[in-house]
Amino acid sequence: MRIPRALNPRLKKRIWRKFGIYEIVVPEETTPSRTVPDSIEFPDYISGKLLIIPKSPEVKDAEQLEGMRQSCKIASSILHKMQTFIKPCITTDKIDELVHRLSIEAGAYPSPLHYKGFPKSVCTSVNNVAVHGIPDLRALQDGDIVNVDITVYYKGYHGDCSKTFPVGNVDDRGLQLIGVTEECLQHAIKHCGPDVPFREIGARIYRRAKRNGLTVLPAFVGHGIGKYFHGPPEIYHSKNRYPGLMKPGMTFTIEPALSHGSENTVILEDGWTVITEDGSRAAQAEHTILITEHGAEILT
């Protein structure tokens, strides 16, 4: 894929003004992958005992749901701790260090670490990095926005959530992007429940984003989650024709990513970092939810 000249990581970083006031971010040097003690239970892709992922959305029983509740609770409590930690001068590698330590202290494995080759324990996506940013030695700057996407594996189950944080003073357009993204997620969750089509989620998020002058990045989908990090269903965040209805006992994520500009993204040479094609900023928000008899419960 061609990388637009202005966004070529080999060129010097620069301030972009078309979509607000912020620095274009490119991947920088990072530290080695962190290690996890053997006392922590490893997920299938680390232990080598490969799991069979269900072919259709799984309805979980009470015991499985208890497992989901525990892992989701750990993921969300770590995410909450980022709120006070994130400030100018902190590197995203320091966020990785903290998430890694807090996961292990909770008895959990940080799911991103070595998942399909991802080298770090959390994803941190700054400004024009849309998703899957690799924590590195770039210090956060006043005016940045950073998404922290935390997944942990605890007693056999993954829990997954993310939030986009403002760093210091962020311009109004940045704050609006974060706010509308969060609203889109909450709005979608409100309408989930038994026998609601999965495709409704994307339809609602698309409409709400559009009404606010923002673009959904359609390349990224939410996912079923359980003993597996990613499984069916796929949750589209834009207009779609994905089949199937929600049923009580299903657990899946909703994780819309929105931008001010193009819906197109580019994957960089590291195989992970996804940037917006036009350099506009992207924000993302994610919860793991459970379909109940009457609606949906946020587990994270």
Q: Which does 118 bind (CB under 5 to 8 A by kind): ligand MF3, Co ion, none?
A: ligand MF3
Determine how many CB atoms are found less than 10 A away from the CB of residue 111. 26
Q: Is 115 in the site for ligand MF3 (CB under 6 A)?
A: yes
Q: For Co ion, which is the closer residue by CB, 160 or 278?
A: 160
Closer residue to Co ion (CB): 7 or 223: 223
**What is the C-alpha to C-alpha distance for residues 261 and 129, in angstroms, rounded to an integer?**
13
**C-beta separation of 190 from 15 below 8 A:** no
* C-alpha–C-alpha distance, residues 45 and 229, integer Å: 10
Report yes or no: 131 and 147 within 8 Å, Cβ to Cβ. Answer: yes
Part of the chain binding ligand MF3 (CB under 6 A), chosen from 83-91, 109-117, 193-201, 239-247: 109-117
Near ligand MF3 by CB under 6 A: residue from 265, 286, 288, 289? 286
Applying CB under 6 A, does 149 fall inside the site for ligand MF3? yes
Q: How many Cβ atoms sit within 10 Å of the Cβ of residue 63?
A: 8
| Nearest-approach distance from CB 229 to ligand MF3, in angstroms | 7
Distance CA 125, CA 147 (A): 5
Minimum Å distance from CB 86 to ligand MF3? Answer: 18
Nearest to 151 by CA among 180, 120, 172, 195: 120
Partner from ligand MF3, Co ion, none contacting 19, C-beta within 5 to 8 A by type: none
**Closer CB to ligand MF3, 16 or 258, in the complex:** 258
Binding site for Co ion (CB under 5 A): 149, 160, 162, 253, 286
- C-alpha distances in angstroms, 174 versus 22, 138, 167? 9, 20, 10
Distance CA 42, CA 57 (A): 24
Q: How far is the CB of 172 from ligand MF3 (least distance, A)?
A: 27
Asked if 181 and 285 count as a contact pair (C-beta separation under 8 A), the reply is: yes
Q: Which is nearer to ligand MF3, 20 or 163 (CB)?
A: 163
Q: How far is CA 41 from the centre of its chain?
A: 23
Nearest approach, Cβ of 123 to ligand MF3 (angstroms)? 5
Of 123, 145, 209, 254, the one binding ligand MF3 by CB under 6 A: 123
Question: Where does this chain bind ligand MF3 (CB under 6 A)?
Answer: 112, 115-116, 118, 123, 132, 149, 151, 160, 253, 255, 286
